Chains A and B, each alone.
Chain A
Amino acid sequence: MIELIGGWLAAVMIVWIYSFVYKDNVLYRLAEHLFVGTAAGYSIALSLDSLNRTAFGQMAKGMEYWHLIIPIILGLTFFFKYSKKYYWIARYGVGINVAVGAALALRAAPMANIIRQINATILPLWVEGDPLKTFNNWLMILITLGGLTYFIFTFFPKTEGKAGPVNIVYKALVTIGIYGMMVGFGYLFANTIMTRVGFLIGIILQYLQPRFDATVVAMILAIIAIAFAVMKKK
């Protein structure tokens, strides 16, 4: 029974949310508000459950975990944001939270995000018996250099007068960088389309097709709501 109700609710809400594609209407707003409210309530409940399992549950094990009281107190200081007099106390919690996050990330970031990425672009410019690999390596190196050159904002070779070798190399690299980025953006755009179409397919296969009856009922109601919205406007 619960699965049936869940299936109906999912199908109906999806159709009503998608009805916005044609026109804003009362059923779209109902679905939108229900979603926001449910998601907020669910997130609060889940966060409390997580706090219970990661903090209070641990502390119940014994004194060795009582140091967890410190992050709990720091977390509670966030609520001082609602006080005009004591809002400054919240800054300690926020500050330590940001500092811990930054410190953890920075500990490994130079190796993970800089050195390994630079290493990955140091490639052989000639691969014996594999012209495609050679071509790819050249592309990778030139586009990386071109992209980096394009984003140099502090130094430009002089462009006035006769172009010297530095100017020519600079311009060539910038052009390669621009075309490389354009190809990258195209790749990104194509993948975006694939994802959005994938979402649409998933919605049809996972929610609408299994509850076709609910879909039809929701569509009829959405058409009525849109008609009302149009009439109201006139």
Chain B
Amino acid sequence: MAKEEKRKPFGMAHVLYTLLIISVALPLLYPVGLPIGISSTTKDVYNYIENTLPAGSAVLVDLYYEMAARAELEPQAAAVVKHLFEKNCKLVFVSTVTYGPIVFELLKSTASDVFAGKEYGRDYVFLGYVAGNEPAVRSLAESIRGTVAADNYGNSITDYNKLPMMRNIDKAEDFKLVFIVSSGTDTFGWYVRQWYTAHNIPLLFGALSVIGPSIKPYVDAKQAIGMLTGQRSAAEYEVLVGRKGLGLAAMDAQSFAHALILIFIIIGNVVFFATRAKPKPKEVGKK
């Protein structure tokens, strides 16, 4: 309490916060257009969908993220879904987290260009939120019809007049790819165990930057065809599929913010070593 009372109304922490907000906001208002190189990781994912995935394949897309993670994951999801739709893939969206129905509707509204010309039930279906975590993922692999009776909007899964694409899609073997867009780490493990190991279905990861190091071992062990991490990968994929989305819009701000943080780290280290080098003043009054 006493510490808080002594706190300055505008201390160093506030200066750093303010500088960070300025470094993010200014490039958004006045974009510089810094060049973006395509990493081999993103290129591999693009090449797999473009050259290896058969046109018209069924793809499961698990949207497992909350509002806060939209900024990093929604641009990835939109760019990859655009690519999959261009290959006439049939997409079965599902969510194993309660926020799924909201983020799916937001994805549809912010990426309306991606869904334009695609018909619900014929080109894509949304199964809604399916509770149960890993057992639910396992159950979906065994049988979608046996897991959920209706889609998110109450249409029966077996009503093939409303959901004609579901006539030939039921179990893991009917899918050629699973695209997991998740803000958590566990989700990827569920699919590696229940879809890849048990059924050998190729997986594609869409993750937050911070999750990237945790799931990279799966990609290195060839348990997933590749991964996209954060806004950087989203921006690269947007370049590849020719869609100007949030990923590209964010890149200048990301670069400026990172440069600022690097400067902070350098200054912090210089101050640390400079103060450490000084001899300590003799303590007064200590026996």
Given the known interface contacts A46-B101, A191-B213, the answer about A22 and B14 at a Cβ–Cβ threshold of 8 Å is yes
B254 contact from A49, A51, A105, A201, Cβ within 8 A: A201
Contact with A along B129-149 (1 / 0, CB 8 A): 111111100100000001111
Please state if A195 and B217 are interface contacts (CB–CB under 8 Å): no
A124 to chain B, nearest CB (A): 15
Contact flag A54-B149 (CB < 8 Å), given A116-B223, A191-B209, A201-B253? yes
B221 & A195 in contact (Cβ 8 Å cutoff): no
Whether the Cβ atoms of A204 and B149 lie closer than 8 Å is no
Q: Which of A50, A101, A109, A113 contacts B129 (CB 8 A)?
A: A50
Q: How far is the CB of A227 from chain B (nearest CB, A)?
A: 11
Q: Known: A22-B14, A194-B210, A198-B231. Is A100-B135 also a contact (CB below 8 A)?
A: yes
Please determine whether A194 and B232 come into contact, CB atoms closer than 8 angstroms.
yes
In the bound complex, how far is the Cα of B126 from the Cα of A195, in angstroms? 28
Interface size on B, residues (CB 8 A): 61
Give chain A nearest CB distance to B39 CB in angstroms. Answer: 14
B268 within 8 A of A: no
A202 B72 Cβ-Cβ under 8 A: yes
Given A112-B192, A194-B254, the answer on whether A50 and B28 have CB atoms closer than 8 Å is: no
Contact A54 B209 (CB under 8 A): no
A29 beta carbon closer than 8 Å to chain B: no
Separation of A121 and B132 alpha carbons in the complex (Å): 33
Given the known interface contacts A53-B148, A197-B258, the answer about A205 and B213 at a Cβ–Cβ threshold of 8 Å is no
Q: Are A60 and B192 in contact (CB under 8 A)?
A: no
Knowing A51-B131, A193-B258, say if A112 contacts B197 (CB, 8 Å): yes
Which residues on the B side are within 8 Å of A101 (C-beta)?
Answer: 133-135
Report the minimum CB–CB distance from B161 to chain A (whole Å): 17
Contact, CB under 8 Å: B149 / A58: yes
Contacts of A230 on B, CB cut-off 8 Å?
9
Which residues of B lie under 8 Å from residue A49 when comparing CB positions? 128-129
Whether B208 is near chain A, meaning CB under 8 Å from some CB there, is yes
Residues in A neighbouring B283, C-beta threshold 8 A: none
Residues of A within 8 A of B249 (CB): 205
Residues B246 and A54 in contact, CB atoms below 8 Å apart: no
* Interface of chain A residues 86 through 121 with chain B (CB within 8 A): 100-101, 104-105, 107-109, 111-113, 116-117, 119-120
**Chain A residues within an 8 Å CB radius of B229:** 191
Contact at B250–A198, with CB atoms within 8 Å?
yes
The bracket for how many chain A residues form the interface is 35 or more
Among A46, A105, A194, A197: residue with most chain B CB under 10 A: A197
Q: Cα distance A107–B222 when bound, in Å?
A: 20
CB-based contact A105/B71 at 8 Å: no
**Contact of B98 with A by CB under 8 A:** yes
Q: Is B263 an interface residue (CB 8 A)?
A: no
Contacts of B194 in A (CB 8 A): 104, 108
Interface 1/0 per residue, B198-228 and A, CB below 8 Å: 1000000000111111000100111100000
Query: In the complex, A162 Cα to B135 Cα: how many Å?
Result: 55
Q: Which residues of A contact B122 (CB under 8 A)?
A: none
A201 to chain B, nearest CB (A): 4
B150 located at the interface, meaning its Cβ lies under 8 Å from any Cβ of chain A in the complex:
yes
20 more CB-based (< 8 A) A-B contacts, given A60-B149, A120-B217, A199-B72? A43-B98, A46-B129, A47-B98, A57-B150, A101-B133, A104-B193, A107-B198, A112-B189, A191-B210, A192-B209, A194-B258, A195-B230, A197-B258, A198-B72, A199-B69, A199-B71, A202-B70, A202-B250, A205-B28, A233-B5
A-B contact pairs, 17 of them (CB 8 A): A50-B130, A58-B146, A100-B135, A104-B135, A104-B194, A107-B198, A108-B198, A111-B197, A120-B220, A191-B229, A194-B231, A195-B210, A197-B254, A197-B257, A200-B257, A201-B24, A209-B28
List the interface of chain A (C-beta within 8 A of B): 21-22, 42-43, 46-47, 49-51, 53-54, 57-58, 60-61, 100-101, 104-105, 107-109, 111-113, 116-117, 119-120, 184, 187-188, 191-195, 197-206, 209, 230, 233
